[in-house]
Amino acid sequence: MSSMDYAGPERRRPGPGGRTGEKTTILLVDDHALFRVGMRNILEREAGFEIIGEADDTRGAFDLSVQLSPDIILMDLSLPAPGGIETTQRIKRELPSAGIIVLAVSEDEDALFDAIKAGAAAFILKDVAPDDLVAIIHRVAGGEYLINDKVFAKPAVASRVLKEFRELAIYGQEAAPIFAPLSPREVEILDNIAQGMTNKQVAYALSISEQTVKNHMSSILRKLSVNDRTQAVVYAMRQGWIRMPED
C-alpha cells in the first residue's frame, strides 16, 4: 500500500519556481522512506522551498503531481515498474511546466539518454552533496535544463541525441518520441502556431483545452529561453523541428 502524503490543494503554487515571489514547491518521490526523510530535512532548511508532498510509488507520484502542480519534482530513477523514467514522461505530458530532477545511483548512459527523452531537467546522483542539491533545485526552478550540459559532455549520448533530432527533422511525427527540450506535443503545438493559428484554434485542432495550450507555450518559451511565440517558431524552424508555414 502506498504511503502518500500531501499538504492539500490550498497550498498549490502557480509556478514555476517562484515567478510570482512565492516559495518553490517541491514533491519528493522515492520508495525509501529514510531517503525521503533525509531530503526533506535538507530542503526544509531553505526558506524559499516548500515540500508539498511525498510519494513512494509511480501511481502516487503521478496523482500528486497532477493534484498539487509542484514547481519541482525530485524523482527516483529506480522506482518499481513502470519506473522513474516512464513516470517522468507521463507527468511532463500532464504538467509540462514542472521541473523534474531525476535521482540515480549511477551515471548510466542509457538512463541519461532516456531521462532527456522523457523531459527531465536535471540528472543527478543520489550521493549529491546537500548544498549542490539545493543549488540545482534553484537553477531548475529558474528555468535551466542542466541535463543538456551532462548529455553533451558524453559523446556517445550526444551522438544518439543528435541522431534523434535529425530523424525528427526528416520524418516529423513518424520518428521515435523526441527528447527534451521539446516534447512531441509541444512540437505539434508550435507547428500549428507556425501556420498562423491562435491558441484557441490550436486547442480546437488538437482537441485539448485552451489553458493546456497556454501551459505548453509557457513550457516551450522556458525551454527555448525565448520571450515570445514568434521567437519560438523561428528557433524551431531553424532547428528543423517544424515545417515552414504553408502559403
Half-sphere exposure of 88 (CA within 13 A, CB side): 32
Supply the pTM of this predicted model. 0.63
Q: At what angle do helices 83-94 and 58-68 cross, to 10 degrees?
A: 20
pLDDT in tens, 114-171: 888 888 889 999 999 999 999 999 999 988 888 877 766 777 776 776 666 555 544 4
Homologous superfamily assigned to 5-152 = Response regulator (3.40.50.2300)
Buried b (16+ CB within 10 A) or exposed e, 62-98: bbbbebbbbbbbbbbbbbeeebbbebbbbbbeebbbb
Strands of the sheet with 24-29, listed across from one edge: 5-6, 49-55, 24-29, 72-76, 99-104, 122-125
Does 56 score more than 90 pLDDT? yes
Q: Does domain 181-239 have CATH number 1.10.10.10?
A: yes
Q: Which residues contact 133 (CB under 8 A, 6 or more apart)?
A: 39, 42, 43, 124
The domains of the chain are located at 5-152, 181-239
Half-sphere exposure of 225 (CA within 13 A, CB side): 5
What the block records as the C-alpha cell of 58 is 509511480
pLDDT number for residue 172: 46
